[in-house]
Amino acid sequence: MAIRKTPKLKRFLTIEVPMLAILVFTLGPYLWMFITSVSPEETLFTSGPSLLNATFENYARLFDTVGFSDNLMDSLIVAVGTVIVGLSLSVTAAYSFSRFNFKGKRVLMLQFLLINMFPLVLLILPLFVLMRMLGLLDTHVALIIANSTVAIPFSIWMMVSYINGIPRSLDEAAMTDGCTRLQALRRVVLPLCMPGIIATGIYIFITSWNEYLYALTLGGRDVRTITVAVQTLIGEYEVQWGLLTAGGIVGAMPATVLFLIVQKRLISGLTQGAVKG
């Protein structure tokens, strides 16, 4: 009996205990944020965060006085717009790179990869000057274009791997039946690489939703995303910890809920993109 229990004990000590420690380390800050957000303001600095006498007053103040609903809407418009623009360009570009051979193809793919190696701060000044010349400062369009410059290059790399896994014979069969190249893309390729499109869309959405530098520089009074709105809760002489943690929880919820909804498709899309057909 002792010999049979040894593998279970070994598995518990080598797998389950480390995984539990990683889980606590990962979720601990979020749990602390939630407890702080529901703690009364008057007891937060005396007895510390606690679930006793929990209140949602900070969340009510967040939407009533700070105007967080407008900031959420700005972030949603920018994120969804970036997903639409990013997927439209990255899917068509990836299809071209996957199906056609042309001069400079490898160089262009390497340039897309090199773009992600440069820090975002290097692109701030030229983008700011460009948006000011076009009169797009403090608009949703400016943030959508700026976020797309970051999301599209890596998205093309992701989509190329998915489309490469679809045999070219399917495109040729569709065109033999009378489809044009675009119709073959829409009717054959896109349905087959839908898990990859969903995975790429989630990547673009989360990247745009969490973006701060462009939102701070190219935004303003009319357009203020949730990342900038949370930063404004940090004053020069005082930090409103209740509102700050409540804003962090609310800001993380949309991306978390979206991930939970499409979790299975996202995992299947990432797995499909990792295997060559």
How is 118-180 classified by DSSP, letter by letter? S-THHHHHHHHHHHHHHT-TTSHHHHHHHHHHHHHHHHHHHHHHHHHTS-HHHHHHHHHTT--
- Check the CA dihedral 272-114-208-28 and report its sign: positive
Q: Please check the confidence at residue 13 and state whether its pLDDT lies above 80.
A: no
Distances (CA, A) of 99 to 21, 164, 167, 175: 46, 8, 10, 14
- With the C-alpha atoms ordered 264, 269, 270, 272, is the resulting torsion angle positive or negative? positive
What domains can you pick out in the chain, each with its CATH number?
66-273 (1.10.3720.10)
Average pLDDT over residues 214-238: 84
Query: Mean per-residue pLDDT for 256-275?
Result: 64
SS3 187: helix
**More confident site: 190 or 235:** 190
pTM of the predicted structure, to 2 decimals: 0.82
What's the pLDDT score for residue 52? Answer: 79
What is the pLDDT averaged over residues 20-33? Answer: 87
* 181 pLDDT higher than 80: yes
Handedness of CA 244, 248, 254, 257 (dihedral sign): negative
Q: In 3-state terms, what secondary structure has residue 203?
A: helix
Q: Taking residues 228-249, report their average pLDDT.
A: 81
